[in-house]
Amino acid sequence: MSQTSANEKIFWSVTEVAEMLGVNESHIRYWDKEFDIIKPVRNKKGIRFFTKEDIKNFKHIYHLVKEKGYTLDGAKKMMKFKKNEMEDQTDVLDTLRKLRTFLAEIKESLP
């Protein structure tokens, strides 16, 4: 939809967010409806576009629902009452995943 002069995206489509998280687009649409914290921008046709903040919140939701096994109601409560704790956990998990990928690339490049 829109990009800054430095080519850094500011909006992502449902498809792009679903690919980032490895889920179906229907998950993104459903979570958007269920979680008030997600606030997409809509164009004239009603197509949703998400910001970095929305994506961060989707990552929190994904972590709670898909990795921790929370129900949607449980995830909503965690997002509401323990947001800072969730952000810390998600940031640590993202860092560890990037480190694992980096180490795997190094391992493959070794003779």
**CATH number of the domain located at residue range(s) 12-109 in this protein:** 1.10.1660.10
Phi and psi for 81 in degrees, rounded to 5? -100, -20
Rounded Cα–Cα distance for residues 103 and 107 (Å): 6
pLDDT for res 41: 94
Mean predicted lDDT score pLDDT of the chain = 86
pLDDT for res 83: 66
57 has a pLDDT exceeding 70: yes
Strand partners, 13: 49
For the segment 54-68, the average pLDDT, to the nearest whole number, is 91
pLDDT for res 80: 80
pLDDT for res 32: 95
Q: Look up the pTM and report it.
A: 0.70
12 has a pLDDT exceeding 50: yes
Which secondary structure element, helix H or strand E, spans residue 12, and what is its range?
Answer: strand 12-13
